[in-house]
Amino acid sequence: MLLTTPVYSEEKKEDNKNGKGRLHLWVTDNARVHDVGPVSSEEHDAAASSLLYRKKSEKEEELVLLYEKKNDGDDSFSLVSVRLTDKLPRIKEVVKTWKEIDAALKSCTSGGTFDPRAKGMCNGPIPTEGLVGFLSNTLTDGTDAGKIWKDEYLGVNATVKNVRQASTAWGVRFKGAAAGAEWPVGSKGQNQPYYFANNEFTLVATVAIHAVPEDGGSPIPLLGAKLKGNDGGTSVLFGLSYTKDNTWSLTSKDGAPTASGSAWKPDEKYNVALVWQGSGQGSVYIDGQPVWSSQPAAPSCAADSCTISHFYISGGGSTGAEEAVSGESSVTVANVLLYNRWLSDTEIGVLHKKAATTSVMRDATPPAGSAPLQDSSSNGVGVAVPAPAPDVVTSKSTAGPRAKSSKADSSVRGCGAAVLLPLLLLGLWGCVSLV
């Protein structure tokens, strides 16, 4: 499905009525969203638009954009027509990539140019329903803000700071007090493909900690979600850290850091999952076992300050004295998966068993040409054996029943699901289905 929405210039983002809106073309499968790029003239103040698609044969097809532009000096509008047929190859390439990665993860076999087994990612099928973001280990030079950690689904990339190296076999290595990555949600700007995270999400990653924090140091952040405050600062919605005592520490907005009671070992790989069901209800899992949960409670913040700014990985996005850490991180993070729904206990357990988390990840770069992960079970599918269930920490809040899993609300009938609402709320859009 294709749609267009106006993106307003940053110089006038405080007053979009005076800023010029340039139309962008987007492609979506009602879960993932990819920005194909600007399609209207930068000189035009684009308004309402429509997309027209015609296919005469397998080799003859056409895509046309019609949009209104506001004329200078009065309130009249003119109609502009733009041929976008040259965008169709890119659109098809994106859709092909989505399908190839889905197929590769579902079967844990090579799909196109993507091989999850060679990346040490899985021992069996990985759930793809609701999977919208995937950070593997692809880094690019990026910008002054840091290197770019590529989303394999071609959606929203993460920004990496002070990364030491990227290992083709294991993942991305972070070393240093400020080393980490930031995966934007609200901080993305006007158009937010991950806006759904404010209602529910599941964030999964494979991690290995290579060094014990120094004595006297505070817990070091590992994975979590941060809120955007009214004052421009951030605070942690909830997240996981690790301590000098080799224990996990849980942090939430409405409570002090809490020890989980379970331990971690240096260089061991762990499958970590953060699940958010909204209304103050979240859970943290390690190797398929729950180590922390909070029950539904009334939000303790104003609506504006309850918006997620970004997901952080290691020290990514740490700003402000309340987030300062006295120790240095030394971790490797791989295969970060973002779902637009919350996964159940059973699904988290299955995901852990299918994830390749049993190998030891040493504090060094794997040798070049290292062999892919091998099967370890008699039936040809290596399944990680879950550790004994650790203690579960439950936050003190008003108890309530666990909500049922929900799919994205298709409140925009025929032109996309709730994942597109941040794009469509601008009110001036056009869409077309290629099906």
What's the rounded mean pLDDT across residues 383-404?
36
What's the rounded mean pLDDT across residues 273-287?
91
With 70 as the cut, is the pLDDT of residue 318 above it?
Answer: no
> What is the average pLDDT value for the chain, to the nearest integer?
76
What the block records as the tokens of 241 is 């850290």
Give the closest residue to 27 by CA, choosing from 129, 95, 83. Answer: 95
Which of residues 198 and 369 earns the better pLDDT score?
Answer: 198
List the single range of 248-262, 354-368, 380-394 with lowest mean pLDDT. Answer: 380-394
- CA 216 from chain center: how many Å? 33
Candidate ranges 186-190, 359-363, 412-416; pick with highest mean pLDDT: 186-190
For residue 166, the model assigns a pLDDT of: 65
With 60 as the cut, is the pLDDT of residue 161 above it?
Answer: yes
CA dihedral 304, 309, 314, 317 (to 10 degrees): -100
By CB neighbour count within 10 A (0-12 exposed, 13-18 middle, 19+ buried), where does 377 fall?
exposed
Kindly report the pTM of this predicted structure.
Answer: 0.80
Give the closest residue to 176 by CA, choosing from 140, 210, 215, 223. Answer: 210
Q: Top-level CATH class of 116-394? A: mainly beta
Which of residues 373 and 98 earns the better pLDDT score?
Answer: 98
Residue type, 420: L
Which of residues 35 and 42 earns the better pLDDT score?
Answer: 35
The span from the CA of 272 to the CA of 149, in Å, is 19
With 90 as the cut, is the pLDDT of residue 118 above it?
Answer: no
How is residue 124 annotated by DSSP?
S
Q: How confident is the model at residue 45 (pLDDT cuts 50, 70, 90)?
A: confident
- Where do you find CATH 2.60.120.200 in the chain? 116-394
Query: What percentage of the chain reaches a pLDDT higher than 70?
Result: 68
What phi and psi, each to the nearest 5 degrees, are found at residue 349? -60, -45
With 60 as the cut, is the pLDDT of residue 65 above it?
Answer: yes
